Copies of this chain bind each other. A is one copy, B any other.
Amino acid sequence: MKLITRDTDYAIRAMCVIAKRKDKVVSVKDLTDYLKVPRPFLRKILQILNKRGLLKSYKGIGGGFTIALSPKKISLVKLIEVFQGPIRLSEHKLKKKICPEAKICLLKKRLDNIEKYVKARLEAITLETLIEEAGRI
């Protein structure tokens, strides 16, 4: 029932570091040294973030990644959806078909409400808020 899987988690940590370094190019080596996260796995993750347009990448010696968007614009919802697909707390289906009772199902209605709330909260958590407040500690 995890809201956040490992890859998303690592992505958040890495993005925070990269965002803090502003326009400096950060390599995977820099990141793994700091984050103690498996290198090939992190590489894969950063490549995905690059493809999705959240990072810019630079090849060759001295290469690495910079952040592609303002940290304000990168929310947890966005990062979660990159690695875990659309946020859906409740499918509440029967055997992969849409349940005929879906429209009147009370349980589904209530879970959908919870989902809306969670999504809104995750939307409000951006890289900026994570970095900014961390700086104050």
Contact = CB atoms under 8 A, between A and B. Distances in A.
A32 to B, nearest CB: 13
A4 B115 CA distance: 12
Interface in A115-130: 115, 117-118, 121-122, 125, 130
Contact of A137 (B1, B5, B104, B134): B104
Copy total for this chain: 2
Nearest to A134: B106
A116 to B, nearest CB: 11
B122 A90 contact: no
Nearest to A122: B114
A125 B114 CA distance: 11
Interface in A1-57: 1-5, 9, 12, 36-37
Contacts of A117: 117-118, 121
Interface of A: 1-5, 9, 12, 36-37, 80, 84, 87-92, 94, 104, 106-107, 110-111, 113-115, 117-118, 121-122, 125, 130, 133-134, 137
5 contacts: A4-B90, A12-B107, A106-B133, A107-B130, A113-B121
